[in-house]
Chains A and B, each alone.
Chain A
Amino acid sequence: MNGGSKRSLGIFKKNSELQTVVTITVLFVAAVLLYQVVNSLVTRGFVEYPSFIYPSNLFNILQQNAAVGIMALGMTVIMLTGTIDLSVGMMTSLVAIFIAKAVMDWDVPPGMAIFYALLICVGIEMFMGFIIAWLNVESFIITLGGMIACRGIALLISNSQEVAMRQNLAWFKSNVFDLFNPEGIKVFNLKLNLPYYVILFFILTVITWAILKYTKFGRRVYAIGNNPQAAFLSGINVKLTRLMAFVFNGVCVAVGATMQLVRVNTGIITVGQNMEIDVIAAVVIGGVAMSGGKGSVMGAFIGAILMGTITNAMTIMRIQQEWQFLVKGLIIIAAVAAGAVSEMFRHRSAMRRKRTGVADTAAKA
Chain B
Amino acid sequence: MAEPVLRLIDVSKTFPGVRALSGIDFDLLPGEVHCICGENGAGKSTLIKILSGAYQPDAGGVIEFEGKPRVLNPRQAIALGIQTIYQEHNIFPHLSVTENIFAGLEIMKGLKVDFAAMREKARETLEYLHCAFGPDTLVGELKSGERKLVEIAKALVFQRKVIILDEPTASFSASEIDMLLEVVRKVVDAGIAVVYISHHLDEVFRLGGRVTVLRDGEHVLTADSRELTEAELVRSMVGRDVSAFYSRDFFPRGEVALEARNLSGNGVRDVSFKAYRGQCLGFAGMVGSGRSELMTLLMGGAKKEAGQVLVFGEEVDFRQPSAAIRRKLCFITEDRQYTGLFLKHSIGRNSFVANLVNMKRQLISPREDYAVGERYIRELGTKATSADTLAVELSGGNQQKVVLAKWFNTQGEIYIFDEPTRGIDVGAKMEIYHIMMDLMAQGKCIVMVSSDMPEIVSMSDRVIVMKGGRVAGELEREDISEENILSYSIGGVAV
B173 in the interface (beta carbon within 8 A):
no
B365 in the interface (beta carbon within 8 A):
yes
* Nearest neighbor of A229 in chain B, beta-carbon distance: B339
- CB of A237 within 8 A of CB of B345, answer no
- CB of A354 within 8 A of CB of B394, answer yes
A6 in the interface (beta carbon within 8 A):
no
A219 in the interface (beta carbon within 8 A):
yes
B343 in the interface (beta carbon within 8 A):
yes
A136 in the interface (beta carbon within 8 A):
no
* Nearest neighbor of B296 in chain A, beta-carbon distance: A233
Segment of A56-64, A111-119, A209-217 in the binding face: A209-217
A189 in the interface (beta carbon within 8 A):
no
B116 in the interface (beta carbon within 8 A):
no
Chain A interface extent, by class: 35 or more
- CB of A236 within 8 A of CB of B353, answer yes
A140 in the interface (beta carbon within 8 A):
no
List residues of chain A with CB within 8 A of the CB of B344. 226, 293-294
A31 in the interface (beta carbon within 8 A):
no
List residues of chain A with CB within 8 A of the CB of B301. 232-233
- CB of B393 within 8 A of CB of A234, answer no
- CB of B321 within 8 A of CB of A222, answer no
In the assembled complex, the Cα of A362 lies from the Cα of B17 at a distance in Å of 10
Taking a contact as CB atoms closer than 8 A, the residue among A1, A220, A234, A357 that contacts B367 in the complex is A1
In the assembled complex, the Cα of A66 lies from the Cα of B114 at a distance in Å of 63
* Nearest neighbor of A217 in chain B, beta-carbon distance: B362
Taking a contact as CB atoms closer than 8 A, the residue among B354, B392, B427 that contacts A234 in the complex is B354
List residues of chain B with CB within 8 A of the CB of A220. 356
- CB of B383 within 8 A of CB of A357, answer yes
Interface residues as binary, B386-404 with A (CB distance below 8 Å gives 1, 0 otherwise): 0010101111000000000
A216-B364, A237-B322 known; A226+B342 contact, CB < 8 A: yes
List residues of chain A with CB within 8 A of the CB of B359. 216
In the assembled complex, the Cα of A236 lies from the Cα of B321 at a distance in Å of 8
Taking a contact as CB atoms closer than 8 A, the residue among B339, B353, B395 that contacts A357 in the complex is B395
> Closest approach, in angstroms, between the C-beta of B364 and any C-beta of chain A?
6
Of A222, A227, A231, A236, the most chain B CB neighbours within 10 A belong to: A227
In the assembled complex, the Cα of A23 lies from the Cα of B287 at a distance in Å of 53
> Closest approach, in angstroms, between the C-beta of A256 and any C-beta of chain B?
25
> Closest approach, in angstroms, between the C-beta of A86 and any C-beta of chain B?
25
Interface residues as binary, A197-241 with B (CB distance below 8 Å gives 1, 0 otherwise): 000000000000000011111111011001101111111110000
A365 in the interface (beta carbon within 8 A):
yes
- CB of B365 within 8 A of CB of A235, answer no
- CB of A358 within 8 A of CB of B349, answer no
In the assembled complex, the Cα of A294 lies from the Cα of B344 at a distance in Å of 7
- CB of B393 within 8 A of CB of A216, answer no
List residues of chain A with CB within 8 A of the CB of B343. 226-227
In the assembled complex, the Cα of A353 lies from the Cα of B16 at a distance in Å of 15
In the assembled complex, the Cα of A218 lies from the Cα of B301 at a distance in Å of 23
List residues of chain A with CB within 8 A of the CB of B370. 1
Of A215, A236, A294, A353, the most chain B CB neighbours within 10 A belong to: A236
Of B344, B359, B364, the most chain A CB neighbours within 10 A belong to: B344
A320 in the interface (beta carbon within 8 A):
no
- CB of A213 within 8 A of CB of B320, answer no
List residues of chain A with CB within 8 A of the CB of B338. 227, 229-230
Taking a contact as CB atoms closer than 8 A, the residue among A222, A232, A236, A354 that contacts B393 in the complex is A354
- CB of B393 within 8 A of CB of A353, answer yes
List residues of chain A with CB within 8 A of the CB of B363. 214-216
List residues of chain A with CB within 8 A of the CB of B6. none
> Closest approach, in angstroms, between the C-beta of A195 and any C-beta of chain B?
32
> Closest approach, in angstroms, between the C-beta of A43 and any C-beta of chain B?
53
- CB of A233 within 8 A of CB of B299, answer yes
A227-B341, A227-B343, A229-B338 known; A234+B320 contact, CB < 8 A: no
Taking a contact as CB atoms closer than 8 A, the residue among A213, A347, A357 that contacts B366 in the complex is A213
The total number of A-B Cβ pairs within 8 Å is 105
In the assembled complex, the Cα of A233 lies from the Cα of B349 at a distance in Å of 15
In the assembled complex, the Cα of A353 lies from the Cα of B341 at a distance in Å of 19
> Closest approach, in angstroms, between the C-beta of A235 and any C-beta of chain B?
4
Taking a contact as CB atoms closer than 8 A, the residue among A219, A235, A293 that contacts B364 in the complex is A219
List residues of chain B with CB within 8 A of the CB of A358. 16-17, 395, 425
> Closest approach, in angstroms, between the C-beta of A16 and any C-beta of chain B?
15
> Closest approach, in angstroms, between the C-beta of B321 and any C-beta of chain A?
5
A361 in the interface (beta carbon within 8 A):
yes
List residues of chain B with CB within 8 A of the CB of A294. 344
In the assembled complex, the Cα of A45 lies from the Cα of B25 at a distance in Å of 90
- CB of A293 within 8 A of CB of B342, answer yes
B84 in the interface (beta carbon within 8 A):
no
In the assembled complex, the Cα of A223 lies from the Cα of B344 at a distance in Å of 10
In the assembled complex, the Cα of A217 lies from the Cα of B394 at a distance in Å of 27
Taking a contact as CB atoms closer than 8 A, the residue among A1, A235, A354 that contacts B357 in the complex is A235
Of B359, B366, B388, B427, the most chain A CB neighbours within 10 A belong to: B366
* Nearest neighbor of B345 in chain A, beta-carbon distance: A226
B331 in the interface (beta carbon within 8 A):
yes
A47 in the interface (beta carbon within 8 A):
no
Taking a contact as CB atoms closer than 8 A, the residue among B324, B356, B361 that contacts A236 in the complex is B356
- CB of B342 within 8 A of CB of A223, answer yes
B454 in the interface (beta carbon within 8 A):
no
List residues of chain A with CB within 8 A of the CB of B209. none
In the assembled complex, the Cα of A260 lies from the Cα of B174 at a distance in Å of 68
- CB of A216 within 8 A of CB of B427, answer no
> Closest approach, in angstroms, between the C-beta of B361 and any C-beta of chain A?
8
- CB of A350 within 8 A of CB of B392, answer yes
Q: State which residues 144-164 of A face B: CB under 8 Å.
A: none
Of B341, B342, B406, the most chain A CB neighbours within 10 A belong to: B342
- CB of B383 within 8 A of CB of A293, answer no
In the assembled complex, the Cα of A30 lies from the Cα of B235 at a distance in Å of 79
List residues of chain A with CB within 8 A of the CB of B427. 361-362, 365
Of A222, A231, A235, the most chain B CB neighbours within 10 A belong to: A235
- CB of A230 within 8 A of CB of B322, answer no
In the assembled complex, the Cα of A355 lies from the Cα of B15 at a distance in Å of 13
* Nearest neighbor of B340 in chain A, beta-carbon distance: A230
Taking a contact as CB atoms closer than 8 A, the residue among A213, A236, A350 that contacts B322 in the complex is A236
List residues of chain B with CB within 8 A of the CB of A350. 390, 392-393
In the assembled complex, the Cα of A229 lies from the Cα of B339 at a distance in Å of 5
Taking a contact as CB atoms closer than 8 A, the residue among B339, B352, B361 that contacts A219 in the complex is B352
Interface residues as binary, B4-17 with A (CB distance below 8 Å gives 1, 0 otherwise): 00000000000011
List residues of chain A with CB within 8 A of the CB of B214. none
Q: State which residues 312-334 of B face A: CB under 8 Å.
A: 320-322, 324-326, 331, 333
> Closest approach, in angstroms, between the C-beta of B488 and any C-beta of chain A?
29
In the assembled complex, the Cα of A358 lies from the Cα of B396 at a distance in Å of 10
Of B16, B352, B356, B390, the most chain A CB neighbours within 10 A belong to: B356
Taking a contact as CB atoms closer than 8 A, the residue among A213, A235, A293 that contacts B321 in the complex is A235
List residues of chain B with CB within 8 A of the CB of A362. 427
- CB of A233 within 8 A of CB of B342, answer no
In the assembled complex, the Cα of A213 lies from the Cα of B390 at a distance in Å of 17
> Closest approach, in angstroms, between the C-beta of B274 and any C-beta of chain A?
24
- CB of A235 within 8 A of CB of B356, answer yes
Q: Please, could you name 10 A-B residue pairs with CB atoms under 8 Å apart, sorted by A?
A: A213-B366, A216-B361, A219-B349, A226-B342, A230-B338, A230-B342, A233-B299, A233-B331, A293-B342, A355-B16
Given contacts A223-B353, A236-B322, 14 further A-B contacts (CB under 8 A): A1-B370, A216-B359, A217-B362, A219-B356, A219-B364, A226-B343, A232-B321, A233-B321, A236-B357, A237-B320, A294-B344, A353-B393, A354-B394, A361-B383
The 4 A-B residue pairs whose C-beta atoms are closest, nearest first, are A235-B322, A235-B357, A235-B325, A234-B354
Query: Residues of B at under 8 Å CB distance from A?
Result: 16-17, 299, 301, 320-322, 324-326, 331, 333, 338-345, 349, 352-354, 356-357, 359, 361-367, 370, 383, 388, 390, 392-395, 406, 425, 427
